[in-house]
Amino acid sequence: MSLDRWRACPSPRAARLAAVVIALAAPAVAVAEVLVVRGDVVHTMAGPRITDGVVVIEDGTISAVGPAATTPLPANAKLLRGAVVTPGLVDAHSVVGLAGHLNQPQDQDQLDSAEAIQPELRALDAYNPQERLIEWLRGFGVTTIHTGHAPGALVSGQTMVVKLAGTTVEEAVLVPMAMVAVTLGDAARREGGDADAKSPGTRSKAVAMLRAEFVKAQEYRRKRALADASKHPDVDLGLETMAGVLGGTVPLLVTADRAHDIASALRVAEEFGVRVVLDSAAEGYLLADRIKAAGVPVIVHPTMRRAGGGGETENLSFESAATLRAAGIPIALQSGYESYVPKTRVVLFEAGLASVHGLTFEQALAAVTIDAATIIGVADRVGSLAVGKDGDVAIYDGDPFEYTTHCTGVVIDGVVMSEEAR
């Protein structure tokens, strides 16, 4: 018997074995259930907290929210219960899914330092939805993250917004291109102006390179809009991306800590009429009035970020979020980027620490739910518990910001992802 014929006609035993292997290898298909999530306290973030409240989820979407005593409940619903119920948490800036838990070169796709300006790099093409850090974060009630290319290059690439669910990036993605990541400051510079790396050696060179890229993108955008298609320039993926920034459809996510770098970001934004979201902003309090006047939101540095004894973050503070919010600036909290294992913080703990350094409980919770969702552009889907929004819920056995509290349940799009205490 030929090898091809043998392959085409396997033995019954081999066929049974193959079927078992395929069954074990195939991921389980998540099915949205009819759910009732009941909490002693429900923080909807769309109105006042509800004592003894319920959230009803049908077909993956919230169909009712209200007091348990007066809200009609489906007869066939599965009941989940906890002391405190909140919207699924939203991490406003992460690199999880590009940076992996192993901290080895093969799972570190968050930064390519070959070029200073690479806006064409898509987070979509590097995101690993089966990275173990995703399950770890989800266990604390985090259901949505804004992730992508990390600070460390002048323009390091694109970011995206994903749900912490699904086995493929297509299943996970909410916004495939959310922002374009820019770094102004030491991390974007090469000491001595290393020409081989094509990176700026000074701050003025960095800003000049960024401005030059926008000038090229303006001309590219003008030519691409010509009625005569024969005069269109060839497609340039980098300039195509920057043209989207100029068109207002995609904001710049500018990581800057020093006050003068923040000022440079605001100056470039005004010159080219682009939308900017500030990231980290350790010295943002020095320019609070200017940031507010520009209408620029801030994704504040992680509360627990280590200053390292000096450098650009020497003036960061536990009170940064409270100070900026008190100045009338929209803020959100983030896990950020860490170079050491496990590669990420948890926004639940960041919010807890911020809540004892100037933010109220409600303000801290908003910074990792509805306010975060608003800044990253997905508040119509997530961030609060309201009829018509995605069925994303976190359940806790006590005050979420208390260290001894456990997350006892996580629901994403009406699918129960976890019922184990974390």
Q: Is it true that domain 89-382 has CATH number 3.10.560.10?
A: no
* β-strands 50-58, 35-42 pairing: antiparallel
Query: Domain residues of the chain, as ranges?
Result: 31-87+388-422, 89-382
Outline where 60-101 has alpha helix (H): none
Beta bridge partners of 158: 180
d(CA 30, CA 173): 16
pTM of the model: 0.91
pLDDT at res. 309: 53
Place of tokens 């001894």: 404
pLDDT at res. 17? 43
Give the other-Cβ count within 10 Å of 417's Cβ.
19
pLDDT score at 191: 56
Cβ atoms of 408 and 414 within 8 Å: the answer is no
- The per-residue pLDDT for 308 is 54
pLDDT of residue 339: 72
pLDDT at 246: 97
Q: Amino acid identity, residue 117?
A: I
Select the CATH number that applies to the domain covering 31-87+388-422 from these four: 2.30.40.10, 3.90.470.20, 2.60.40.10, 3.40.50.150.
Answer: 2.30.40.10
- Helix/strand number for the chain, H first, E second: 12, 16
Length of the chain counted residue by residue: 422
Chain mean position to CA 264: 24
To the nearest 10 degrees (0 to 180), the angle between helices 203-224 and 237-246 is 90
DSSP labels, 398-413: S-TTSTT--EEEEEET
The β-bridge partners of 173 are 162
H-helix segments, 307-397? 320-326, 347-354, 361-366, 370-375
The answer to whether 39 and 385 are in contact (CB under 8 A) is: no
Q: What angle do CA 402, 405, 410 make, to 5 degrees?
A: 120
Task: Give pLDDT, residue 194.
Answer: 46
Query: At residue 172, what are phi and psi to the nearest 5 degrees?
Result: -90, -30
- Residue 165: partners with Cβ closer than 8 Å, 6 or more residues away: 30, 138, 143, 171, 172, 412, 413, 415, 417
pLDDT in tens, the chain (422 residues): 343 433 344 444 444 444 433 344 444 456 778 999 999 999 999 999 999 999 999 999 999 999 999 999 999 999 999 999 999 999 999 999 999 998 888 899 999 988 999 999 999 999 999 999 999 999 999 999 999 999 999 999 999 999 999 999 999 999 999 999 999 999 888 754 444 457 899 999 999 999 999 999 999 999 999 999 999 999 999 999 999 999 999 999 999 999 999 999 999 999 999 999 999 999 999 999 999 999 999 999 998 786 555 689 899 899 999 999 999 999 999 999 877 777 799 999 999 999 999 999 999 999 999 999 999 999 999 999 999 999 999 999 999 999 999 999 999 999 999 998 88
Instruction: Tell me, yes or no, if the two domains 31-87+388-422 and 89-382 fold the same way.
Output: no
